[in-house]
Amino acid sequence: MAESGKWEPKILAFLCNWCSYAGADLAGTSRIQYPPNVRIIRVPCSGRVSPFFILSSLQKGVDGVLVSGCHPGECHYLTGNYSARRKFALLKSLLEFAGVEESRVQFSWVSASEGARFAKLIEKVTAEIRELGPSKRLVKTPHQGVFHATANK
Amino acid sequence: MQQLTNEIRAIARKLLREKKVEVVIGFERGSMPLRSRPCFIRKEEEVNRLFWDGFCENALAVYLPKRKERAAIVAKGCDSRAVVELIKEKQVQRDRVILIGVPCRGMVDRSRIESSAAPRRILEMREIEDTLILRGTDFEETLKRSEFLHESCKTCTHPNPVLHDVLVSEWLEEKNEDPFADIQTFDALTAEERWDYLNKEVDKCIRCYACRNACPLCYCPECFVDASLPQWIGKSIDSSDTMIFHLMRAYHLAGRCVSCGACERACPVGVDIRKLNRKLVKDVKDLFGYEAGLNLEQTSPLATFRPDDTESFIVNP
Ligand code: SF4
Ligand code: SF4
């Protein structure tokens, strides 16, 4: 929630240590402005991102998830992002099939030298998720009543 | 049917007598009409328990992983595909299993027969070629077998065993028309409608995990639904937990599901489990050109990649 009380999308970004995280860093050190809606989690490789990370994030109520790694062919571990690409292609298709809005979960590649691309990516993703509004599908609703009171603390 | 039964018995007898295997996994007549159940034959004297009819629907490959004995398994098309995947995933050793292949004309959906006969009770059933003769206390009725097949059997493209050591009966003609019409129709609905439909299905789920237990490809020693460190999905009845269970169950079977339908048949509350599984079967075929369980050589789609794999979903700002 922004200070004004207006809804602001909360976006979780899983960025690989070697490219996209460094790209985000470059955007920062180069003083490139991008929307403050994104919270970054650094992962060793886009191949490390389990579909559980993505679904759990949505369940806990983030409005969008972004995963970004090195461009194909530039993975620090040589093939991590290639494997990830296959996994993500299926996950994305499955989520859409199940009716989760298309732009809720997004994937991209950003290299360490692409600070400007990172900023543009965050702008695009934030705008799209803002357009969608708050996430509702897959969000866990806190239970009412004594029985569940502690379970959802 | 009697002929198939006899052939299976003869093969089992020979295998046990020659000590080629220690156990033959097949089906025996259940204690109720319209039911056949898995059985484990270890002695030559017991081979006459083995039986074959249109109700041998369980995916027997589920009994192979972790089995210490050398086993023979009666395998329909789907069972043989499951064994192929299990061999590829190193859960079964090729030289420790003998497949008794049975070309399959599809298994009959008991519940549909029962509801067509209701409220009368069926006391006896005989299967001759494509007819089922039902008998109750005061009725006798003949049904056409092929009209009462399981959903998974209606869309089956591989009724013949893809891998077998001995073959029972004759090779059947395989139909190769696109079996994914249902998925395309569903995909054409709006996201809202798809979400609502699946949510309604998933809301029936009581999380008994019978679908997982019946699946020949679900063999993890610790399933994600049981894991507690970290606990990826809650044990609650919140529909998000159940939905995530279903999404992830299907996802874990991507490129591995052999479309045997065992999961759906095991479900006590009739959740439409097939939708998500089949969507992924279709995607894996369309995107990576892979169909599970068809040969021992092709690498599993998620264990490999191609530099020119699809990029269409990648955001390019
Ligand atoms: S997911 Fe269902 S259809 Fe697929 S292999 Fe497992 S039991 Fe068979
Ligand atoms: S068998 Fe049916 S009720 Fe049981 S966990 Fe699977 S879908 Fe849910």
Contact between chains at B302 and A86 (C-beta distance less than 8 A): yes
Chain-chain contact of B314 with A109 (C-beta, under 8 angstroms): yes
Taking a C-beta distance cutoff of 8 angstroms, is the pair B34, B55 a contact?
Answer: yes
pLDDT recorded at residue B175: 78
Closest CA to A141 of A59, A53, A51, A57: A59
What was the pLDDT predicted at B174?
85
Judge: A95–B244 Cβ closer than 8 Å, yes or no: no
Beta carbons of B315 and A91 less than 8 Å apart: no
Residue A110 near residue A117, CB atoms below 8 Å: yes
User: Token pair of A106, please?
Assistant: 């997004």
Q: What is the CA radius of gyration of chain A?
A: 16
User: Is it the case that residue A8 has pLDDT exceeding 80?
Assistant: yes
Query: How many other CB atoms sit within 10 Å of the CB of residue B94?
Result: 13
Which residues on chain B place their C-beta less than 8 Å from a C-beta of chain A? 186-187, 191-196, 198, 224, 232, 234, 236, 238, 240-241, 243-244, 247-248, 250-251, 254, 276, 279-280, 283-284, 287-288, 301-302, 305-307, 309-311, 313-317
Which of A130, A135, A134, A122 minimizes the C-alpha distance to A66? Answer: A122
Size of interface A-B (CB pairs under 8 A): 120
Backbone angles phi, psi at B226, to 5 degrees: -100, -15
pLDDT given at position A149: 45
Q: Do A88 and B313 touch (CB under 8 A)?
A: yes
Most A CBs within 10 A among B189, B240, B308, hence the mutation to make, goes to: B240
Q: Which of A12, A21, A39, A33 is nearest to A104 (CA)?
A: A12
Question: Could you tell me the residue ranges of all domains in chain B?
Answer: 2-109+149-315, 110-148
Residue B173's pLDDT band (cuts 50, 70, 90): confident
* A54 in Cβ contact with A92 (< 8 Å): no
Among A25-29, B38-42, B84-88, B176-180, the minimum mean pLDDT is found in: B176-180
The set of residues, in sequence order, having a beta carbon less than 8 Å from that of B248 and lying 6+ positions away, is A51, A52, A55, B224, B232, B233
The residue ranking higher by pLDDT, A120 or B173, is A120
pLDDT of A143 reads 62
Q: Is A70's Cβ below 8 Å from some Cβ in B?
A: no
How do B131-135 and B140-144 pair as beta strands? antiparallel
Lowest model confidence (mean pLDDT) among A95-99, B171-175, B240-244: B171-175
Mean pLDDT value across residues B46-60: 96
Domain A11-150 has CATH 3.90.1480: no
d(CA B244, CA B229) in angstroms, rounded, equals 17
The yes-or-no verdict on residue A144 having pLDDT over 70 is no
Of A55, A87, A120, the CB nearest to B302: A87
For the stretch B3-46, pLDDT in tens is 999 999 999 999 999 999 999 999 999 998 899 999 999 999 99
- Which residues of chain B are within 8 Å of residue A107 when distances are taken between CB atoms? 313-315
User: A139 and B240 in contact (C-beta within 8 Å)?
Assistant: yes
How many Cβ atoms sit within 10 Å of the Cβ of residue A147? 8
ipTM comes to 0.92
Candidates A7, A127, A141, A2; CA nearest to A66 is A127
CA B61 – CA B83 distance, rounded (Å)? 6
Encoding tokens for residue B225? Answer: 């639904």
Q: Is the CB of B237 under 6 A from ligand 2?
A: no
Q: Is B205 in the pocket of ligand 2 (CB under 6 A)?
A: yes
Which tens digits make up the pLDDT trace of B206-238?
999 999 999 999 999 999 999 988 899 888 878
Alpha-carbon span B218 to B236, nearest angstrom: 22
DSSP state of B237: -
Contact B258, B82 (CB under 8 A): yes
Determine which residue's CA is closest to atom 8 belonging to ligand 2: B205
Contacts of B292-295 with CB under 8 Å at 24 or more apart are B292/B81, B292/B85, B292/B255, B292/B256, B292/B257, B292/B258, B292/B259, B293/B80, B293/B81, B293/B82, B293/B83, B293/B84, B293/B85, B293/B162, B293/B258, B294/B81, B294/B84, B294/B158, B294/B162, B295/B84, B295/B162
Token representation of residue B51: 């039986």
Question: pLDDT tens-digit profile of A17-68?
Answer: 999 999 999 999 999 999 999 999 999 999 999 999 999 999 999 999 999 9
> Domain map of chain A by residue range?
11-150
Instruction: Verify whether the Cβ–Cβ distance B251 to A97 is below 8 Å.
Output: no
Report the length, in residues, of chain B: 317
Between CA B75 and CA B81, with CA B80 as vertex, the angle to 5 degrees is 150
pTM, 2 dp: 0.93
Whole-number mean pLDDT of chain B? 94
B101-152 pLDDT, tens digit per residue, is: 999 999 999 999 998 888 888 998 899 888 999 998 888 999 999 999 999 9
**Chain A residue closest to B198 (CA)?**
A98
Residue position matching structure tokens 């985000």: A24
pLDDT at B275 over 90: yes
DSSP letter at B143 equals: E
Question: CA of A1, closest CA in chain B: separation in Å?
Answer: 23
